[in-house]
Amino acid sequence: MHTAGSGGRVQPARPGDPTRIGPYRIIGRLGSGGMGTVHAALSDDGTRVAVKVVHPAQADDPEFRARFRREVQLSARVSGPCLIPLLAADPEAELPWLATAYAPGPTLNQHLAAHGPLTGSTLYAFATGTAQALAAIHAAGVIHRDVKPQNVILSPAGPRVLDFGIAHAADGTSVTRTGVMTGTPGWISPEHYRTGTAGPAGDVFAWGALVAYAATGRLPFGTGAPDVVAFRVMSGDPDLDGIRAELREVVSKALAKEPGHRISAICAAESCSLLLSDQSTQVLPTDAGPEPTRVGALVAEEWRVPPVDDPAWPAPPGRPWRRKAAGVLAAAAVVGGITGGALAFPTNGSGDRTAGAAQTPGASSGSPSGTSPSAPDQAADPAGTSGEANTPTADPRGVRAPADPLAGIPNPAYTRADDTTQPHDGEWAASTRAATPEEEQVEKAIRDQVKSVLATKAISHIEPVVTFNRRAQTVMVTSGPVPQIPDDHTELFGRAGEMAACTVLAHRLKGHPTTWPYGRYAVYGKDADGSPAATLLDFGEATTGCHGEVAGKWQGDETGMETAQMPSSDKAEIRVADDTVKAINTVWDARVAEGNGPVAFDRDDAVTLGFDPVEKAAYVWAWDGYGALSSRAQQGAFQHVAEKTLCKKLVAEYTANRNWGYTRWSVGFYTGNSGVPVIIGSGDCLPQRQ
């Protein structure tokens, strides 16, 4: 089911259709599908919006609702010049819904039927824009899984990729629990057919087929029964006749049978952007890959498609500003978690959602308060086998994971350094419990650290299971099984497992580089006891660093703030949060009373503080409904007040409580009905720990 326009034509509303969904006025229909109905809608300022509402029967299915909630989470991560931004959502409504920007235009299928194949600079712009969209999706940790002509709109400004995250959200694995293959025949990768494996390389395969189809008007693996098409995909050569040699070379690399032989989405975008730049006077740099905003501008410049018949939509009636603001506040008040109600996501001037710092699998020094003084940055090696000097008086909160533990080692036991391939299901299934004293020590260290993090959010009932695959040189961390685990709990387990595995393995590699063979880790979620499969949440290796830093400085991000919004069960955290918020409000109110710039917030509980136990960071944010932080000067003033007040509290607790590991801070705010925070600043109250 698509969330954008189709040819720009709005169908009349039908009897029983809602007149209003969330903050949007419904004025017609754009289409419908298996998931539900897409309504044409207007915001109060007249912005055109597509609102997807699921069917009542599916809304009554708890499993479907959980998948829809996950779709919203995944979609909120992604932004880019050729993607349609998610504006708002309410997964908990009686009929769950989400709203995206409206993009007029036909699908690729519709355009080819009416006008024939794309040619010249328009074809190169199509290839560049769609590849850049996939690169943005993959960079956010999302897999599309349903790249096909019906999911690409040819808008007047360029191609727009739809429904990113929906196929990923529909099931944690590539095969549904009933054994039905997901995806559309002809747009499924060979490895998906063979083993059910789905990943970024599968998206790239479908992209190659998509570009071939756009260039020729022919399906590259032909038509026919699904099993016949599947055989051609797995064994036959694609039909690429008629595609110019330079573009055919890129498409051929995307359509390689083995995923490891395929070009990546970002490399495809770079190659196609160079072909596109040959049609234009603008040349893009190649040393660091194509910069998304410049690619978007170049695509728009060289885009040539027939004009779209897009009749004017009726305007909504006027509403008093204060009433509108009250609705905005109501939406903003529930943004605290994806399960809390309606969410909204701001966009910048180009229609792309703004975001804070990019998500990185970072770590920080110190430990969260509560159950264990050992820190995820620390090796947590009770037997002292890490090979590093430790003294009884050493503060474990100051021990950091080495960024390059195998530096200078000529023949390390771990031989898969810089291997970025995704672990496959067989490697997880073949992993076994600890078989040596060294493996038992690492297992305990990882388990203790994960449990310590989860305990701060009262979800220590999620049991981490640590297993080892020596052939793959990979340590697996698996949750559960936990049936119907909430998405925020899954997200936290994935981050905690990644951090614990990375830091423990980094220390172990540093201490025993010639004998310890494990340097990779993979984190999985399992929701049913006895299930032969699990969902891959994250993976990486401990030889490239575990710290979320930019130029040596810690940066807060949206993921950390989402975790910080989960209620804390740690008494010290609750006490420090309460004291700090009161102190920040006192200082801010005093500044407001002085009349020298700061503006009062519109509600008494505007300022909130929460903790991310993975990064050991305290997040302060404000719900800014009326624009108290609308200017850079006001934002700077709020950051100054929050940072100074918070650091004073954090350092005092750090000094008095050896179980307290929080010294990092991040300050941000939500403006209007925004569902994505604006991060103003981040740092460490003890800068020598950076």
**What angle separates helix 120-139 from helix 245-254, to the nearest 10 degrees?**
30
Measured distance CA(181)–CA(639) in Å, rounded: 50
Total length of the chain: 690
Rounded alpha-carbon distances, angstroms, from residue 303 to 98, 307, 624: 29, 11, 39
Which residues on neighbouring strands pair with residue 1, listed in sequence order? none
C-beta of residue 188 within 8 angstroms of C-beta of residue 181: yes
C-beta of residue 475 within 8 angstroms of C-beta of residue 449: no
- End-to-end, the C-alpha distance of the chain in Å comes to 47
Comparing CA positions, the residue from 525, 438, 535, 443 lying closest to residue 196 is: 535
Respond yes or no: is residue 570 known to be catalytic. Answer: no
Measured distance CA(558)–CA(664) in Å, rounded: 15
* The Cα angle at residue 113 between residues 109 and 115, in degrees rounded to 5: 110
**Of 146, 377, 538, 612, which one is the catalytic site residue?**
146
C-beta of residue 453 within 8 angstroms of C-beta of residue 441: no
Mapped onto helix, strand or coil, the DSSP state of residue 659 is coil
- 122: tokens are 């328009």
Beta-strand runs (E) in 360-515: 464-469, 474-479
Which residues on neighbouring strands pair with residue 612, listed in sequence order? 617
Measured distance CA(569)–CA(385) in Å, rounded: 33
Q: Characterize the bridge pairing of strands 520-525 and 535-541.
A: antiparallel
Residue with tokens 């908990």: 92
Which residues on neighbouring strands pair with residue 53, listed in sequence order? 37, 97
Comparing CA positions, the residue from 407, 539, 533, 526 lying closest to residue 472 is: 539
Measured distance CA(507)–CA(185) in Å, rounded: 46
The number of angstroms, rounded, from the C-alpha of 10 to the middle of its chain's C-alpha atoms is 32
Measured distance CA(303)–CA(663) in Å, rounded: 50
Q: Where are the alpha helices (DSSP H) in 278-317?
A: 292-302
The number of angstroms, rounded, from the C-alpha of 260 to the middle of its chain's C-alpha atoms is 23
Comparing CA positions, the residue from 109, 113, 98 lying closest to residue 51 is: 98
- Cα four-point dihedral sign 429, 169, 106, 33: positive
**523-549 in b/e burial notation, b at 16+ Cβ within 10 A?**
bbbbbeeeeebbbbbbbbbbbbbbbbb
Instruction: Give the count of alpha carbons within 13 A of 618, CB side only.
Output: 34
Give pairs for 247-252: CB < 8 Å, separation 24+.
247/123, 247/124, 247/127, 247/211, 247/215, 247/272, 247/275, 250/127, 250/208, 250/211, 250/275, 251/208, 251/211, 251/212, 251/215, 252/208
How many C-beta neighbours within 10 Å does residue 286 have?
A: 12
- 24: tokens are 């949007």
C-beta of residue 657 within 8 angstroms of C-beta of residue 572: yes
Rounded alpha-carbon distances, angstroms, from residue 474 to 34, 330, 402: 40, 47, 18
Q: List, in order, residues 6 or more apart from 235 with CB less than 8 Å away.
A: none
Residue with tokens 């040393």: 287
**What angle separates helix 265-277 from helix 120-139, to the nearest 10 degrees?**
150
| Active site residue ranges | 146
